[in-house]
């Protein structure tokens, strides 16, 4: 298994798109910084939305997590599975392992590893850019926290935020990877995955129309069955001084991950259909 993962990891870095994605990472962080600077002009430093060096890693990620990072997961998943199926490279990969499911699992671990590395580098870039472009007060307000936080407390918060962000990416990657596995063309894989994201963006807004009928609690639970909505608002709620709906959202993430991993195992039982 380790050998298969090592080979798949090296194959990923032989692709120009992998390096290109890392090349645009500083530009993503800078674009977030420019947006936050414009937003600061309309805010006062006593509100959590005001960006400073200490919270820019979170503010910068919140602008990119449910869009750019999800799209990156789609691209990498399509590359490491669907594109190999289309090009015939998957046949060669099958010679390295007796179990096709083992190969699929190795590819998913490679996807997860890439996303983890991407998040880690983005975290470091945002800290550097935060100190270069924003003020660095000793304390600053934090979302859903009554007291201001110190730089160290903010750093711990940022680590937790990125950890939960990684969990959301792993969960949504299970869905995306399943789509990549059952798709026989790059167009299908990319189109279906983007369609899934659009649905996840749309239905949480549609259900707001039924709030007077269903009630606040039910609507919130349905709202947070959408992983992009957890990325958008849910993570800050889970990290609140008094966590809100944390068990529900973690259950959604775990349930989605398990469900689609099982579906992947089911559809890959017979490797003949992929040869």
| Tally of domains within the chain | 1
Q: Can you read off the two tokens belonging to residue 67? A: 């869009």
| pLDDT tens, residue by residue, 97-111 | 557 788 889 899 999
Closest listed residue to residue 261, CA positions, set 181, 189, 174: 174
Rounded distance, CA 13 to CA 8, Å?
A: 9
What pLDDT is attached to residue 48? Answer: 96
Backbone angles phi, psi at 98, to 5 degrees: -80, -25
CB 271 within 8 A of CB 100: yes
| Residue 271 predicted with pLDDT over 70 | no
| Residue 181 predicted with pLDDT over 70 | yes
Between residues 250 and 272, which one has the greater pLDDT? 250
Mean pLDDT of 249-267: 96
Neighbours of 217 (CB within 10 A): 9
> For 4-13, 84-93, 172-181, 262-271, which range has the lowest pLDDT when averaged over its residues?
84-93
| pLDDT tens, residue by residue, 230-242 | 999 999 999 999 9
Neighbours of 138 (CB within 10 A): 8
Host domain of residue 193: 2-274
Neighbours of 79 (CB within 10 A): 20
Q: Is the pTM of this model over 0.75?
A: yes
- Give the chain's mean pLDDT: 92
Q: Can you read off the two tokens belonging to residue 261? A: 């991993």
Helices in the chain by DSSP H: which ranges?
2-13, 16-23, 25-40, 56-62, 70-77, 83-87, 89-94, 100-133, 151-182, 186-206, 211-214, 216-223, 227-229, 235-238, 246-267
| Residue 89 predicted with pLDDT over 70 | no
Helix (H) or strand (E) holding 149: strand 149-150
Q: Can you read off the two tokens belonging to residue 64? A: 């990119």
What pLDDT is attached to residue 74? Answer: 96
Which residues lie closer than 8 Å to 183 by C-beta, 6 or more apart?
A: 78, 82, 189, 192
**Residue 92: pLDDT band with limits 50, 70, 90:** low
């Amino acid at each position: 298994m380790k050998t298969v993962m090592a080979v798949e990891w090296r194959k990923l870095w032989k692709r120009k798109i992998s390096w290109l994605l890392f090349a645009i990472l500083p530009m993503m962080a800078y674009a977030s910084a420019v947006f936050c600077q414009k937003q600061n002009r309309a805010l006062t430093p006593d509100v959590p939305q005001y960006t400073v060096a200490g919270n820019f890693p979170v503010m910068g990620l919140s602008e990119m997590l449910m869009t750019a990072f999800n799209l990156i997961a789609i691209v990498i998943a399509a590359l490491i599975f669907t594109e190999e199926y289309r090009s015939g490279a998957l046949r060669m990969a099958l010679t390295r392992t007796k179990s096709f499911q083992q190969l699929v699992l190795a590819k998913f671990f490679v996807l997860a590893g890439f996303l983890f590395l991407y998040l880690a580098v983005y975290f470091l870039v945002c800290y550097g850019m935060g100190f270069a472009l924003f003020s660095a007060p000793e304390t600053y307000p934090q979302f859903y926290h009554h007291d201001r936080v110190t730089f160290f407390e903010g750093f711990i918060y940022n680590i937790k935020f990125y950890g939960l962000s990684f969990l959301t990416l792993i969960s949504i990657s299970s869905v995306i990877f399943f789509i990549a596995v059952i798709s026989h063309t790059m167009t299908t894989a990319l189109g279906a995955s983007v369609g899934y994201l659009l649905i996840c963006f749309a239905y949480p807004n549609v259900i707001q129309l039924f709030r007077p009928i269903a009630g606040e609690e039910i609507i919130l639970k349905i709202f947070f069955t959408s992983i992009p909505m957890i990325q958008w608002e849910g993570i800050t709620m889970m990290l609140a001084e008094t966590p809100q709906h944390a068990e529900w959202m973690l259950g959604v993430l775990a349930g989605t991950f398990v469900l689609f991993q099982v579906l992947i195992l089911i559809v890959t039982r017979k490797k003949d259909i992929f040869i």
